[in-house]
Amino acid sequence: MQLTRTRSTRLPRLCQGDILREVDCVEYVAEKGGVIEVSKIVFPLVIVLTQDCDLEQDYRVRAAPEGNKDKWLISVLMAPLYNIEHVYKGEHLSELKIPMQVVPKTGNTGNFLRNNERPRYHYLEFAEGVPIVPSVIDFKHYFSANSEYLRRWKRKNFVCRVSELFREDVSQRFAAYLSRVGLPEIAVPAPAAVAGEG
């Protein structure tokens, strides 16, 4: 397993591969009797998945006072980073009271995970000095947030940015997982009782 290379340079715009801390994922907003309820999940760490060219064009369009706004992004795609130790135990969503599959640390299952041989997961291990424990992206868990909110949030909550080669690997694996042909299990109905039997 090769260590994930990162950059500590903080650009003013969002970048693909940016890792940010304490990002809100809004589950729902509901109004009842004049009271607005907002349910959100705060993820300790997330990685930005949206393509870097789109993020750069969005930043330029927002900075331009006039002209075509065709490249404006409504939201940015990202995914949480989970502590690998919590993933091994199936506890990475325990605060949401959602039990997950246990992934044995040892043997083939753990090795496949750490070697990025399981399409659903992407393992990241960072160099010494990067304040992130070995982590996993679960490609089933992604969400979006407003790009301007995230750009402002980045000012205080930027951790690091995964370097270009490594972010492209994450991007390709995420796209492959999302584009897989998933066939649903079809329930076969029980045979209907024949009239007169019994």
Q: What whole-number distance in Å separates Cα of residue 124 and Cα of residue 4?
A: 6
DSSP lists the bridge partners of residue 146 as: 75
CA distances from 150 to 19, 122, 156, 175, 180 (A): 11, 23, 10, 22, 29
Task: Report pLDDT digits (tens) over 149-183.
Answer: 999 999 999 999 999 889 999 999 999 999 988 77
The pLDDT of residue 66 is 80
Sorted by where each begins, the domain ranges of the chain are 6-178
DSSP lists the bridge partners of residue 143 as: 78
User: Average pLDDT for residues 18-45, to the nearest whole number?
Assistant: 93
Share of the chain above pLDDT 90, in %: 61
For the CA atoms of 40, 44, 50, 55, the dihedral, rounded to the nearest 10 degrees, stands at: 100
pTM metric for this prediction: 0.85
Element containing residue 110 per DSSP (H, E): helix 107-114
